Structure 1
């Protein structure tokens, strides 16, 4: 039973968790694709993912191990997609580094393949690609060490993503168990180191916590309060402005109505004056006729 767990269940768990870890940058990469900006994302792990997974696929092939290749084939595809998405938005310096990694690793794999074909037997080929895979994955695991040094120095573990650190423990532990079961030092050696680095990251996160995240939350609350205080006089000002505009509009409408009534009033006055003038003339004519009749 223990043999089944170690030789079949453990590598299956390692394959699933490893695939999840390899796909974990998808959200950040999709943000790069959407915004066309790199922001604060470091793209260098993406080409290293390709190099690491290619070396393990080759090692899985020469070692005739069916559990090694599947997750790493997925890692090659994901790493290439991540690299090609981020590359156009990198600075010239980062582009040169990424291109250098890809070209150098391609040349190195080509040279090692030629050495394996013409100079080594099957055992030597396995040892060569095993050493290559271990070297690459150690570099892959050493990268977080610089982050850990900064965590201890600043006593702030906000840069450590806890779920990913836990996944590193599970993934490294599963492959370590499998490596010990099949007696392959190329599997249990680097993966044991990876599980150890994951444990250190979890311990640092629990010890120091996310100081920066707490400060950001406090700063965000302070900003909300300031914005609310600043917003109050603006609201009062808008109300006063609205009242003044309403009063001005009412006066303007009143003046417009008055202007509209003026022509009508003038017309009525003219009509009255005309009628008065006609009445006066009629009276004068009647008076003249009366005097004429008397004569």
Structure 2
């Protein structure tokens, strides 16, 4: 169940990579996932729980790929607007909007779509080619997701270093598991609550597109199963945060129900349209 939770955003990320834009996809939970899995792996070593280890090790490795992809996509988006300029980028988006309008309002007209695509390609060719080496500015040396990921990683370096070297921890048997357990509980709260970082946007726009449906569902179900497991083992470090995670999941379900996601219409490729 944990592995199914970690793979929930894969389909959406593949689509984002295809379109070279994150769009409404919120990558913050992936940065928190890295810290969450790293913390649970450390906790599993301390309490000798193989189920916790094998449930989180695949998630840790998968989170690396998710985060790398998010960073690349954010870099592409930032580079495009830096290189083209806000006006040119807006014009490019407007051209894409024309194609979308042809599908959503007048129905798919192959001739009109083909002409629109050819006009945009001609305009793109008239622009000077982009030199990747000159794209990044000093204000964009790091992407927002890189900063979030580095913050999570730094926090866990400090926590694990304290557990490994602090004299107070060495003198008290079981204190290391307590410290890591409390830290990973806090991290898990951020993991379950990270999708709620978009709650202001959801309420303002009355659109829950920023809440990833599959991740929301799998997080809630995963929280239920881990809560039962933690109760069976009488391990409060497992069942307390997961019960709270179930609560976060219910909040997101309510938001999805009150503010349904607006339907999006994908643009077909020119090959499919003109064939």
Smaller-chain TM-score range?
A: 0.5 to 0.7
Q: Is the 8 A contact 1:166 1:199 kept in 2?
A: no
Q: Residue 116 and residue 125 in structure 1: after superposition, are their counterparts in 2 closer, same or farther (change >3 A)?
A: farther
CA distance change for structure 1 residues 44 and 54 in 2, over 3 Å: closer, same or farther? same
Give the deviation of 1:37 after TM superposition.
5.2
Identify if the C-alpha distance between structure 1 residues 120 and 155 changes in structure 2 by more than 3 Å, giving closer, same or farther.
farther
Aligned pairs (5 A) from 1:235-250 = none
Bigger-Rg structure (1/2): 1
Change (3 A) 1:103 1:204: closer
- Structure 2: how far apart are the matches of 1:116 and 1:28? 46
* Matches of 1:33 and 1:154, distance apart in 2: 25
**What are the ranges of 5 or more consecutive residues in structure 2 without an aligned counterpart?**
76-141, 268-275
Post-superposition Cα deviations, 1:206-264, rounded to whole Å, max 9, x if no partner, equal 33323x22xx56xx9xx9xxxxxxxxxxxxxxxxxxxxxxxxxxxxxxxxxxxxxxxxx
Per the TM alignment, residue 33 of structure 1 is displaced from its structure 2 partner at its CA by 5.2
Does the CA contact (< 8 Å) of 2:26 and 2:195 recur in 1?
no
Q: Distance in 2 between matches of 1:90 and 1:156?
A: 22
Unaligned runs of 5+ in 1: 1-16, 224-295
1:206 aligns with one of 252, 257, 262 = 257
The residue number in structure 1 matching 2:71 is: 87
Secondary structure of the corresponding residue to residue 153 of structure 2? helix
Work out which of the residue numbers 182, 191, 195 in structure 2 matches 1:131. 182
1:170 is displaced (CA, Å) by 1.4
**Alignment correspondent of 2:238:** 187
Q: How many residues align?
A: 200
Partner of 1:108: 159
Identify the structure with bigger relative contact order (alpha carbons < 8 Å, sequence gap 6+).
2
Task: Note the alpha carbon deviations across 1:40-59, whole angstroms, 9 max, x for none.
Answer: 54443323211110100111
Q: CA deviation at 1:130?
A: 0.6
Higher helix share: 1
Residue 166 of structure 2: SS of its match in structure 1? helix
Superposition map of 1:137-286 within 5 A? 137-210=188-261, 212-213=262-263, 216=264
3-state SS in 2 of match to 1:151: helix
Q: Deviations over 1:104-138 (max 9, x none)?
A: 43343223322389634332112111101101111
Bigger mean CA offset, 68-77 vs 161-170: 161-170
SS of the equivalent of 2:48 reads coil
